[in-house]
Structure 1
Amino acid sequence: MALNLSDKFISPYKIDEIIHALRNTDFHLERAKSKNLKKIDFEKTNQNQLQISRQIDFDIPVSAQKFVSNPISLVELWTFESNQKIAIKVSIPNIQTEVEASMALKSEDNKTSILVETVVVSKIFLMSSFAEEFVSKYWKKSLQKDFEILNDWIKS
């Protein structure tokens, strides 16, 4: 199963300010606090990569509770390919699902537009409905909240 999503966000801040915040582990800790966080670890694998390992509690649908339980583990790998492009890979081993996202940043009228293209792939057929629910309840909601936190973080 694969699910494709596209989201666009507008930030009043410059690309450099956004990239600086996204590279900052304190920012990622702040965004993690908005979720049901159990544990978080950071590892800078190289100058252009940041790995974030988290455990969260998630509202698991009744139909999936026999296959997976809380906490859900997530490993995010942020690759800063350039000042205008970031690749994000989120692995969710508990449900054998991966989220691959590409963030394209573009200056527009003293603002920055951020286009997020996402592909969600679940390797377990029985978990496909859970993966869809994960995306609709967690990923999209999380993106919206993360961009609110990002703008507030840069503002402060």
Structure 2
Amino acid sequence: MDSQFLLSQKLGEALFEKGWVLSTAESCTGGGVATSITDVAGSSAWFDRAYITYSNQAKVDMLGVREETLESFGAVSEPIVTEMVLGALERSNASIAVSISGIAGPGGGTAEKPVGTVCFGFASSNGWLCAETYFFQGDRKQIREQAVNHALRSLLSFLTRGSHE
């Protein structure tokens, strides 16, 4: 598997080639995607900003997530990551964005949403909108690392193939 640095480097090259700029909206990863991206020198050419919206109130205040959506679906849900990613895209100078919300553990899981449940939202200014849920295994650190890797790979896949894997 590619290292996060290599993935971030490839993502930066793909963004730069297209003249696109990225924004992130992260909850359970706590800025892990943004950290990976800004580990690459020159990332200011293709990275605009990161929203770390760990609390529900931060999601509402910073990204425009609706309280009704939070009440109906919970913070770890595809409707929430959809609102998060659209909020990040709308409130930034980005042409593409990713959002992440999940349960990294060790506590907080339920039968419906066990530890390792992570939802992702992707959106671009040219109309790409995708929400998906993955179930990762491992401890808190491993779940967060898998989530960051998935976000980076998915963005890179969209930019290089024009589709999402």
Q: TM-score, normalized by length of structure 1? A: 0.34
Q: Which structure shows the bigger proportion of residues in strand conformation?
A: 1
Q: TM-score, normalized by length of structure 2? A: 0.33
Larger radius of gyration: 1
Q: Which structure shows the bigger proportion of residues in helix conformation?
A: 2
